[in-house]
Structure 1
Amino acid sequence: MSATDDGVAQKGAGYRKGPVLLRGGQIPSQTTDQRLLSGGDGADWLHNDPWRVMRIQSEFVEGFGALAEVGPAVSVFGSARTPRDHADYAAAERVGHDLVEAGYAVITGGGPGIMEAANKGASQAGGLSIGLGIELPFEQGMNDYVNLGVNFRYFFARKTMFVKYAQGFVVMPGGFGTFDELFEALTLVQTHKVTGFPIALVGCDYWGGLLDWLRGPVLERGTISEPDLRLLHLTDDPDEAVEYVRVRAEEIAAEERAAAAAAVDLSPEA
């Protein structure tokens, strides 16, 4: 996805600040997130921050309203820097196409690189191609293959939408933003904040070292457990990644239905 992959200026459709489009000298020197997270002088924050709650609330309301009826969807993450002639771009395009063929809408960060490729594959397959944009200190804009776009000021509001409306993740090679999204998804599953979530990594040469590290010093120190490693499925094949997400999502849904039925049978009123 990642619009956060790494602060390289991108020529796009302009600087988005919520619903407002800015260009040239109108682009601010700080993002809304920067102002929110900067330390306040004296008690000024007391008079300003409570009002920000209303803006934050509006982002959630707008996001929920725009995405509530998208149906089954999968979020695709990866670098904004990936050029169009790179093999990763072609693989992401295939992922987007296959997800639509499997009955899913495709959600990305709406920017260039891997995001554009996945949106392109989804759009050209005739599916719903969703972009969740973010206000950044450089021009980026929504890519041309998004047919449902929502722009956010706050990362945390946007990241909620990636999880809330998706049945799984496909993670392509990316930078810090992609790592952030990957580990947030893993944390939500590991801590049972979500009941289950298939996560497919595409690119054995790219992600293999990370998995070796997790299986090595991380597991050996006991900071994760063996079942945690099974939360990730690694492949070089975009088709296999989509099939894994589809099958595992169906398994998780069946497990949830069985658990709900068992809970009803065990209830005192049953």
Structure 2
Amino acid sequence: MSTTEVESLAKLRRLLADGSSVCDLRLQDLDLTEVETELLGIDDFTGVVVLGGRMSDDLHRHLRLHGALVFPADPGVPFDAWRSRLYRPRELYAGLHEHGYDATPDARAYHWSLEPDQDVYSSLLRAIHDDSISDALGEFVDGRTLVGVMGGHAVQRGSADYTAAANLGHSLASAGAVVATGGGPGAMEAANLGALCTDPALLAPAIEQLATVPSFRPDITAWARVAFEVRDNVTADTGAPRSLGIPTWFYGHEPPNAFANRMAKFFSNALREDILLRVCNGGIIVLPGAAGTVQEIFQVATALYYADSARNVLPPLVLVGEQYWSTQVPVWDVLQALAADRPMAGAIHLVGDVETACSTIADIASAQECTHRPTEGGKAP
């Protein structure tokens, strides 16, 4: 059986206009009220699966009576389990300016996830949502180079570490990469901000304005409001995306930042962490951080340790802060011990500053491009 996913009304309208059979379509997250007249005129929906979206009661009955399997959206939960696209920060923060953070979809989804009477249906909705977001993220990543920036959530706005992370994000995005972070506050926010800001002259004033509310504690509302004010000043949502956040409601006490072009937010932190590290095909830069950052380092290290370099180019893992990662949190010695006599040894790097980290990523990307570029005779050099 051949199926076709339809995630936009434009595609569905084209299929209906040219008289194509609708049998075996997968209609995901569509407002079917927009094409209700056309659908009511069809009497064979064999194999059609409708995943969420909007429809009238009449259309719902018509689809089911003529062979469709309908999974309606649940208006009783504060998220769309069948969502077909990544979030934008303003969607997660809808209602922030009028009613404060606790009224936003982001906060309501987090509080829903904490409800004590969760049952198997709730688990199913979470799993469907996360799979839908994973699918949308796969479509977003396709054809793009993503460089991950990892670092601590406690880095305060206006600090030297925050400014360094913002400059790093700007440099990576200006070189053509999409900057991917965990989507939260601190170093993650700074890197997403730097990537989003296309004009470097606007970056320092943006950081200065953000520093008026240096942390999301104790007031997330004030922290987020100033972020959206800054976002409006530094760029518009036009052009190719430069910034991606992949946060989780598992750490719902850490709000998502406002500076990613797109947000892939998950309920499952285990799934989110695996996906975040896996999509960074251009490498990962790790800034100083605590336990969560160390966990991410060794998740990457595990993948590098077992990778088959004959079949896969190993993306670089670049740690920033020679003293920090050698003495304060001494993971570098462990990485070197693991990498001894393995291809992984060529993929791990310890550097002193973000400028060197950025140039290391660029040099490796350039070398890989030269290695795989066909020569005049059609063979790689």
Name the TM-score, length of structure 2 as normaliser: 0.51
| Post-superposition CA distance 1:137-182 (Å, at most 9, x none) | 5433221211211211122332324322431111001112211221
| Residue in structure 2 matched with residue 114 of structure 1 by the alignment | 187
Q: Following the alignment from structure 1 to structure 2, what is the Cα–Cα distance between the partners of residues 96 and 212?
A: 23
Q: Following the alignment from structure 2 to structure 1, what is the Cα–Cα distance between the partners of residues 152 and 317?
A: 17
Q: Following the alignment from structure 1 to structure 2, what is the Cα–Cα distance between the partners of residues 15 and 256?
A: 51
Which residue, out of 270, 273, 281, partners 1:156? 270
Secondary structure, in 3 states, of the residue corresponding to 2:247? strand
| Residue in structure 1 matched with residue 259 of structure 2 by the alignment | 145
Q: Name the amino acid aligned to 2:362.
A: R
Q: Following the alignment from structure 1 to structure 2, what is the Cα–Cα distance between the partners of residues 256 and 15?
A: 51
| Residue in structure 2 matched with residue 39 of structure 1 by the alignment | none
Return 5+ residue gaps in structure 2 as ranges: 1-99, 200-240
Which residue, out of 315, 340, 348, partners 1:197? 315
Higher relative contact order (CA 8 A, sep 6+): 1
| Residue in structure 2 matched with residue 225 of structure 1 by the alignment | 340
Distance change in 2, residues 1:149/1:252 (3 Å): same
Structure 1 segments, 4+ long, off by >6 Å, are: 47-52
Q: Following the alignment from structure 2 to structure 1, what is the Cα–Cα distance between the partners of residues 261 and 318?
A: 25
Q: Following the alignment from structure 1 to structure 2, what is the Cα–Cα distance between the partners of residues 262 and 57?
A: 40
Q: Following the alignment from structure 2 to structure 1, what is the Cα–Cα distance between the partners of residues 122 and 188?
A: 35
Q: Following the alignment from structure 2 to structure 1, what is the Cα–Cα distance between the partners of residues 254 and 332?
A: 34
| Residue in structure 2 matched with residue 251 of structure 1 by the alignment | 367
Which residue, out of 290, 293, 312, partners 1:175? 290
Alignment of 1:1-270 (within 5 A): 13=101, 21-23=106-108, 26-29=111-114, 54-68=128-142, 71-125=144-198, 128-158=242-272, 159-192=274-307, 194-209=312-327, 210=330, 213-214=333-334, 219=337, 224-227=339-342, 228-255=344-371
Distance change in 2, residues 1:131/1:56 (3 Å): closer
| Post-superposition CA distance 1:38-59 (Å, at most 9, x none) | xxxxxx98x9978876455333
Distance change in 2, residues 1:30/1:207 (3 Å): farther
Q: Is the 8 A contact 2:126 2:267 kept in 1?
A: no
| Residue in structure 2 matched with residue 3 of structure 1 by the alignment | none
Q: Name the amino acid aligned to 1:59.
A: I
Distance change in 2, residues 1:49/1:146 (3 Å): closer
| Post-superposition CA distance 1:179-220 (Å, at most 9, x none) | 1221121221221165311111111121123256328xx83x
Secondary structure, in 3 states, of the residue corresponding to 1:167? coil
Cα deviation, residue 66, structure 1: 3.6
Distance change in 2, residues 1:229/1:24 (3 Å): closer
Secondary structure, in 3 states, of the residue corresponding to 2:263? strand
Cα deviation, residue 68, structure 1: 3.0
Q: Is the 8 A contact 1:15 1:138 kept in 2?
A: no
Q: Following the alignment from structure 2 to structure 1, what is the Cα–Cα distance between the partners of residues 190 and 145?
A: 20
Q: Name the amino acid aligned to 1:192.
A: A
Bigger Cα Rg:
2
Q: Name the amino acid aligned to 2:261.
A: N
Q: Is the 8 A contact 1:30 1:137 kept in 2?
A: no
Q: Following the alignment from structure 1 to structure 2, what is the Cα–Cα distance between the partners of residues 114 and 202?
A: 12
Name the TM-score, length of structure 1 as normaliser: 0.70
Q: Is the 8 A contact 1:132 1:150 kept in 2?
A: yes
Q: Following the alignment from structure 1 to structure 2, what is the Cα–Cα distance between the partners of residues 168 and 93?
A: 18
Q: Name the amino acid aligned to 1:213.
A: D
Return 5+ residue gaps in structure 1 as ranges: 1-11, 36-43, 264-270
Aligned length: 229
Q: Following the alignment from structure 1 to structure 2, what is the Cα–Cα distance between the partners of residues 151 and 15?
A: 18
Identity %: 27
| Post-superposition CA distance 1:95-122 (Å, at most 9, x none) | 1011022211111111110001101111
Secondary structure, in 3 states, of the residue corresponding to 1:80? coil
Q: Following the alignment from structure 2 to structure 1, what is the Cα–Cα distance between the partners of residues 325 and 303?
A: 20
| Post-superposition CA distance 1:208-254 (Å, at most 9, x none) | 23256328xx83xxx65245444321112211101101111332355
